[in-house]
Amino acid sequence: MFLSKNHFKKLFVLSLLAVSALYFSQEKNLKNITKLTFGGDNAEAYFSPNSKMLTMQVTNPAMGVQCDQIYLYDLTQKPAESNLKLVSTGKGRTTCSFFMPDGKHIIYASTHKANPDCPPKPAPRKDGKYLWPIYSDFEIYEADLNGNITKQLTDSKGYDAEAVVSPDGKKIAFTSTRSGDLEIWIMDIDGKNLKQLTHGLGYDGGAFFSHDSKKLVFRSSRPKTDEEIREYKELLAQDLVAPTNMEIYTINIDGTDLRQITKLGKANWAPYFHPSDKKIIFSSNHHSTRGYDFQLYMIDLDGKNLQQITYESEFNAFAMFSPDGKKLVFASNRQGEKQHETNVFIADWVDSDPTELVNEDHIKKHIYYLASDDLQGRLSGSEGETKAANYLSAEFKKLGLKPYEGKDFIQNFEYDVKMNPHDDKSSVKIKAKNVVAVLDNKAAKTIIIGAHYDHLGLNEHHNSTLANSDGQIHNGADDNASGTAAVLELARMFSQNKTKENVNYIFALFSGEEDGLMGSKKLAETIKARYPNTVFMINMDMVGRLNKDKDLTVGGVGTSPILTDLVKKYKPAGINLALDESGVGPSDHTSFYLKDIPVLFLFTGTHNDYHKPSDDADKINYPGEKIITNYVFNLSNALGNEKAIPFTKTKTTTAKAIPKYKVTLGIMPSYADTKDGMVIDGVMDNRPAANAGIESGDVLTKIGKCEVKEVYSYMDCLSKVNSGEEHPVTVKRHGEEKIFLVKF
């Protein structure tokens, strides 16, 4: 990302977007989504062997159902409440129903035998902790489709529930506390030959068989620390569990080969095998940074290729494939008439094209090479830049892409750089290389996806934020091997998939960005002559350091009236967006905006390693970059399907007068317009702020008596300071005011 030597980056003020609602997005695996139930709390719907019926758990006061009961649902009729038929006793509380192999019986767990009344839910806790009750009166029963109980399958002290039947009709798996802990058990279809499968401390439950009946998938909350173990045991003694930390596991039906599939954190649960038995669909809130949000995900059995399936509503869970694998049934809060209403939905299942799944290993491989010491920081015009350009060209060639011009992927250009900004005679000529490839779909429109691949080298051009760093390698992993790797992965996805998109794609990797957007200016000068149908440009610059709050800046949303809605619609779960309307910013999209091309700019923010030798590959958030790459893939597809992308000129945030100043504080300011002080995003080593003790994260409020409210007032205050002066600088740190004496 470009930073001039004499003043801060070009300013672009962020309009922070508070996204409270989840917007419908790209649920491309689900077609013809149909709502089956209407009101109440409906969940755990599972198919009959012939796929013509569902059995499900229902609570709906409007129907007179005050406590969970088991109902059949007739899928041969049009969706209606009248399709529901009570098959449990209507007494006690029931849960976890499943069809027997003959399709004429179901099994479910119920408390009715011990007490016909509905058992109470756990009382709310003062600490607000969410708890599940483990009713010790649950036993497992078999019933016919008229609701007549034909057999009691379990009869032991404690919890027996969550029973499912193997596809071959030979086994039943269930969860039980009969051993003193919540474990997975298995028995013959008639209830005989019980065997305990899991033995680790914690709640093992919600098991389902693979389609070949050889494995079980389940979710487990396994406490590890002394405090977690103590709390788990105390709650279990009260027939309670806290289902807030769960991961997905598999195990063979003989109890061997226990494997942990997910390591995502938070609650991962309600798993079910994909028809291939090579993947698992499950519900998770691992992505959530603000509040309650469960979405369906798919993951391979080796824990790779995590893929988000649902995007709409705050709750999606209990997914099950039909026996033929063509349908998916699940529970969701979507389309509810009341808050937290949960209904059952059915959809046609469409498998993903595996080539369209972002490969995190590919991204990591590219970044580790581009940010290696061997490339010496990829300075424009250097040997390291040439090595990087050759690598990028080879990657494009592997994909079968065609060059933008000439016989190879290199676009040569020249520019001058002043080695001393105060000396006009210090200019040197730089011979640099863009690397540009084209995916020609013979379409009427073309979209550019770009990023700069150059960086600071050994600080020859003096753009480092670290004092006395000449001669040190500035590897630029985030800036901008991260964006370059994302472009390479997108080039692979679009060129190797089975779909012929409605647009052509130009994959552009620029050099000379750090010296003033030189490479993108070169391409922008020729783009409309070669591709007059170019309708859009997406730029990724520093997308590798997604923070714990998952804050992502998307600039350029004002360059077309359709962009704000699209950017929000395709937002990945858990991402918190900050939207900037301006088409002008501190990176290469600016060159295309100035040619009247609509743009988007993705950026995960500055950090203490920005423009320093410490911006290395081991600090990249690879899962975060994977999310952003997939986001750009979906946005690109959506933009390609638009009939038109009209261009709109935006207010240039850099148009505000920037006062001249003679000193520097040595910080990286936040450009968010907070009005109550300016957040300091980074502090440069051996500069006035660092020397005085000011830290990243402090909120600057005053320089001397001059008040700072945001970046512009900060620059006004700074312009009033002369070199050599000392002034008190006031900041807020964790809400506490602190004053530092700073020598400028």
Q: Decide: 438 and 504 in contact? Cβ < 8 Å.
A: yes
Q: Of 701, 674, 708, 678, give the one whose Cα is nearest residue 16.
A: 674
Last residue of a domain, one of 581, 606, 641: 641
Q: Give me the residue label for tokens 């007179």.
A: 64
Range of the domain at 705: 667-743
Residue 608 sits in the same domain as residue 698: no
- For residue 528, is it within any domain? yes
Residue 675 sits in the same domain as residue 542: no
Residue 105 sits in the same domain as residue 152: yes
The number of folded domains in the chain is 3
pTM: 0.83
Residue 608 sits in the same domain as residue 675: no
- For residue 349, is it within any domain? no
Last residue of a domain, one of 223, 248, 273: 248
**Could you give the percent of the chain with pLDDT greater than 90?**
79
Residue 377 sits in the same domain as residue 495: yes
Instruction: Tell me the per-residue pLDDT of 494-503, one tens digit each, with 9 for 90 and over.
Output: 999 999 999 9
How many CB atoms within 10 Å of residue 362? Answer: 17
Residue 463 sits in the same domain as residue 367: yes
Higher-confidence position of 12 and 530: 530
Run of H or E residues at 388: helix 383-398
Instruction: Tell me the per-residue pLDDT of 696-715, one tens digit each, with 9 for 90 and over.
Output: 889 999 999 999 887 767 87
| Phi (first) and psi of residue 575, to 5 degrees | -75, 135
Last residue of a domain, one of 641, 658, 693: 641
Higher-confidence position of 532 and 419: 532
* Amino acid sitting at position 352: S
* pLDDT at residue number 732: 93
Instruction: Tell me the per-residue pLDDT of 81-98, one tens digit each, with 9 for 90 and over.
Output: 899 999 999 999 999 999
Alpha-carbon distance 431 to 428, whole Å?
10
The pLDDT of 291-303, averaged and rounded, is 92
Name the pLDDT band for 670 (thresholds 50, 70, 90): low
- For residue 73, is it within any domain? yes
Q: Is 640 exposed, middle or buried (0-12, 13-18, 19+ CB in 10 A)?
A: buried
Residue 727 sits in the same domain as residue 591: no
Residue 98 sits in the same domain as residue 192: yes
**Could you give the percent of the chain with pLDDT greater than 70?**
93
Per DSSP, the three-state class of 659 is coil
Instruction: Tell me the per-residue pLDDT of 425-468, one tens digit each, with 9 for 90 and over.
Output: 778 899 999 999 999 999 999 999 999 999 999 999 988 888 88
Average model confidence (pLDDT) for the chain?
A: 91
Residue 235 sits in the same domain as residue 110: yes
Residue 364 sits in the same domain as residue 507: yes
The enclosing domain of 446 has a CATH number of 3.40.630.10
* pLDDT at residue number 15: 31
Residue 425 sits in the same domain as residue 464: yes
Bridge partner list, 416 = 429
Residue 204 sits in the same domain as residue 63: yes
Alpha-carbon distance 684 to 679, whole Å?
15
Alpha-carbon distance 298 to 308, whole Å?
6
Q: Decide: 11 and 2 in contact? Cβ < 8 Å.
A: no
* Amino acid sitting at position 638: A
The pLDDT of 115-139, averaged and rounded, is 88
- E strand map for 274-389: 279-284, 295-300, 307-308, 316-321, 327-332, 343-349
- For residue 345, is it within any domain? no
Is residue 474's pLDDT more than 60?
yes
Side-chain half-sphere CA neighbours of 149 within 13 A: 16
- For residue 729, is it within any domain? yes
Is residue 659's pLDDT more than 80?
no
- For residue 264, is it within any domain? no
Q: Of 168, 153, 61, give the one whose Cα is nearest residue 108.
A: 153
* pLDDT at residue number 672: 52
Q: Give me the residue label for tokens 């179901």.
A: 106
Q: Decide: 538 and 602 in contact? Cβ < 8 Å.
A: yes
The enclosing domain of 182 has a CATH number of 2.120.10.30
Name the pLDDT band for 9 (thresholds 50, 70, 90): very low
- For residue 652, is it within any domain? no
- For residue 61, is it within any domain? yes
The enclosing domain of 739 has a CATH number of 2.30.42.10
The pLDDT of 191-201, averaged and rounded, is 96
Q: Of 196, 251, 242, 198, give the one whose Cα is nearest residue 221.
A: 242
Structure tokens at 158: 């404690």
